Amino acid sequence: AQKVTQAQTEISVVEKEDVTLDCVYETRDTTYYLFWYKQPPSGELVFLIRRNSFDEQNEISGRYSWNFQKSTSSFNFTITASQVVDSAVYFCALRSNQGGKLIFGQGTELSVKP
């Protein structure tokens, strides 16, 4: 079975704080892909990153960074120096090598207060 778990339902931080959103996944596939999406209040899904299972290199993009640990089946997302505009629901998702459908985690609602 494939599953994505985002244990943090809601996180509230004050602007300029760093915040890490956790994502743990389960899959029996040897090849798979992991994604992070941002969903602002307007509802659309904004693509943030994709990671292949065979590439464990961490990635940094501006204030965003991702830590992929295959040994613990985790793909955590860190926002450095958070801003109010970062307030949104963030989803971690898993795509198996078969079928192509995305399995989403429960989402973490991040609230950044000024």
Partner 1 sequence: GAVVSQHPSRVICKSGTSVKIECRSLDFQATTMFWYRQFPKKSLMLMATSNEGSKATYEQGVEKDKFLINHASLTLSTLTVTSAHPEDSSFYICSARDFLGDINYGYTFGSGTRLTVV
**Residue 39: φ, ψ to 5°:** -120, 100
* Per-residue binding letters, 46-85, with partner 1 (x by CB under 8 A): -x--x-----------------------------------
Task: Closer to partner 1 by CB, 65 or 106: give it.
Answer: 106
Nearest alpha-carbon partner for 38 in 82, 5, 96, 87: 87
- CA angle 29–1–109, rounded 5-degree value: 100
- Residue 114 corresponds to which tokens in the numbers above? 């000024």
- Compute the CA torsion angle 16, 74, 7, 61 (nearest 10 deg): 30
Least distance between partner 1 and beta carbon 106 (Å): 5
Task: Closer to partner 1 by CB, 37 or 68: give it.
Answer: 37
Task: Give how many residues touch partner 1 by CB under 8 A.
Answer: 21
Query: Which residue in this structure is represented by tokens 């994709």?
Result: 50
Least distance between partner 1 and beta carbon 45 (Å): 4
- Residue 40 corresponds to which tokens in the numbers above? 């602002």
Q: Determine, following the binding rule CB under 8 A, whether residue 107 of this chain makes contact with partner 1.
A: yes
Binding site for partner 1 (CB under 8 A): 33, 35, 37, 42-45, 47, 50, 91, 95, 99-107, 109
